[in-house]
């Protein structure tokens, strides 16, 4: 099926939910991104900073760019002028660097705290204890150019629905705890980014607001 057909299918599935579609465009050429844009996609997710920075000028200005892969602090300067949301904030150091670089452009970057919810050591992310220490720090209170808008997590790669949904449920509980304790008066803190091509339906059932889909839209990469 075409990119347009696949996007229309996902948008139909998301109708009536709180979720939005993040089209994962990593390794796909700019022509494919233009197809997705023409089909109505406006949120594009990239893993590699250099790839995002190369594609960004080639697409219309209303694209909302999300960094969804692990982000090294020395790469922040390459996306600070345009990135909308960094979904993979997993350290105080990264948060501070985002604030520093965004300040140079007089803009505010949205960020999601990434949590380690999978039973796989290869996945990265914060623990709840680490996240609370960050949110309680004086350094965090001083930030003016990063706005935390929610949480992100990647579940175990498994066909076990009970396992995966349990991990998504854990992330939603983390979100609800942080919302109540630190962001009760912040309407912007509302995102739960979870679910990809293989498990997005389970994520939607557990309250995802952002699903990150690549292969189910573009097909598998060669």
pLDDT in tens, 88-145: 999 999 999 999 999 999 999 999 999 999 987 777 899 999 999 999 999 999 999 9
Phi-psi category of 217—alpha, beta or left, where left has phi over 0 and alpha has psi -120 to 50?
alpha
Instruction: Give Cα 218 to chain centroid, integer Å.
Output: 19
Q: Give the C-alpha separation, 189 to 175, whole Å.
A: 9
Average confidence (pLDDT) per 10 residues, the chain, 222 residues: 92 92 94 95 96 97 96 97 98 97 98 93 88 96 97 95 97 98 97 96 97 91 54
Helices (H), the chain: 3-14, 30-38, 49-55, 92-103, 128-135, 138-142, 161-182, 200-205, 215-218
Closest among 90, 35, 79 to 56, alpha carbons compared: 79
Which stretch of DSSP H or E encloses residue 191? Answer: strand 191-193
Confidence at residue 165, expressed as pLDDT on a 0 to 100 scale: 98
Q: Give the C-alpha separation, 4 to 179, whole Å.
A: 36
Q: Give the C-alpha separation, 67 to 201, whole Å.
A: 22
Third-level CATH fold of 3-217 = TIM Barrel (3.20.20)
Q: What is the pTM of this model?
A: 0.95
């Amino acid at each position: 099926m075409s990119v347009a057909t696949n996007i229309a299918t996902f948008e139909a599935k998301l109708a009536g939910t709180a979720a939005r579609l993040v089209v994962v465009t990593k390794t796909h050429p700019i022509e494919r991104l233009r197809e997705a844009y023409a089909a109505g996609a406006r949120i594009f997710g990239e893993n590699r900073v250099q790839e995002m920075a190369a594609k960004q000028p080639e697409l219309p200005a209303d694209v909302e760019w999300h960094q969804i892969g692990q982000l090294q602090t020395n790469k922040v300067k390459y996306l600070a002028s345009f990135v909308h949301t960094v979904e993979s904030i997993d350290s105080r150091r990264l948060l501070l660097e985002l604030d520093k670089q965004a300040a140079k452009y007089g803009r505010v970057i949205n960020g999601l705290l990434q949590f380690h919810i999978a039973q796989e050591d290869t996945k990265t992310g914060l623990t709840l204890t680490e996240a609370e220490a960050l949110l309680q720090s004086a350094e965090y209170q001083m930030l003016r150019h990063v706005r935390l808008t929610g949480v992100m997590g990647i579940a175990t790669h498994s066909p076990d629905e009970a396992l995966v949904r349990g991990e998504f449920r854990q992330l939603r509980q983390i979100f609800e705890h942080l919302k109540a304790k630190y962001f009760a008066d912040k309407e912007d803190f509302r995102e739960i980014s979870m679910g990809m091509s293989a498990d997005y339906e389970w994520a939607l059932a557990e309250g995802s607001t952002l699903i990150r889909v690549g292969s189910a839209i573009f097909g598998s990469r060669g």
